[in-house]
Amino acid sequence: MGIHNFTQLQKKMTSEQLEKFCKKITEEYANSTAQFARSYFCKKYEITISCFYKILEYSVIKNLVEDVIVQKMIKKAIENQNLHKNGAGASSIIKYAKMYTKRYKYIAETMPVNDIKELAEDFANNPNINKMEFASSYGVNSKIIDYCLKRAIIENIVDDFTVKAIETRSIANATTNNSDTIEKYFASLKKIREQNRKEIALK
């Protein structure tokens, strides 16, 4: 069969097959002991080292595996790095933090419009519930809430009244030091919102 890189897998498999393949390897890696590292999986599945890492990244960013699996991956990556050099695990933490950011964006970007609308209106109508508690009630990270609200505003998913309510509660919950930053942030979002609104009107 030969050794495959990630691009070859993408060409060879359907999207569904690729997702199942990546999920399987990622979960197997996360749930295995330290002795089963990249070389074991590369040999077993006939993939390159680069492909192995891309498979793990793909699984995290595309939300193919649960958070508990990602946490196991982080722990294992840190342990493996520390075996070669004590304290080297910090780079793994940074790498996975970047993956998580992309994961949260992906979740928000793929969420149905009706769900985004409901979430944004719910957030606007409940100013007494802080964002962390609100995110917890939806079973997601607060960063996902941020990306969903951004999408609701710039894509004109919610009305102007809701946008104003989201902005008002965000400024009210801000510290004195960053209230100006939040105002500028919302001004930039509303500018994009208006541009998108004009483009929609021209179609």
pLDDT greater than 60 at residue 160: yes
pLDDT greater than 60 at residue 88: no
Contact 47, 3 (CB under 8 A): yes
Q: What is the pLDDT of residue 20?
A: 97
Q: What is the pLDDT of residue 202?
A: 83
pTM of the model: 0.85
DSSP letter string, the chain: ---B-HHHHHHHS-HHHHHHHHHHHHHHHHHS-TTS-HHHHHHHHTB-HHHHHHHHHHHHHTT-S-HHHHHHHHHHHHHHHHHHSTTTTHHHHHHHHHHHHHHHHHHHHHS-HHHHHHHHHHHHH-TTS-HHHHHHHHTS-HHHHHHHHHHHHHTT-S-HHHHHHHHHHHHHTS-TTTHHHHHHHHHHHHHHHHHHHHHHHH-
pLDDT in tens, 134-144: 999 999 999 99
Query: How would residue 97 be classed by pLDDT, with cut points 50, 70 and 90?
Result: very high
Q: Mean per-residue pLDDT for 102-106?
A: 96
Query: How would residue 87 be classed by pLDDT, with cut points 50, 70 and 90?
Result: low
pLDDT in tens, 30-44: 999 888 889 999 999
Contact 115, 141 (CB under 8 A): no
Q: What is the pLDDT of residue 203?
A: 72
Report the alpha-carbon distance of residue 148 to residue 150 in Å, rounded.
5
Report the alpha-carbon distance of residue 174 to residue 172 in Å, rounded.
6
Q: Mean per-residue pLDDT for 97-101?
A: 94
Q: What is the pLDDT of residue 121?
A: 98
pLDDT greater than 70 at residue 85: no
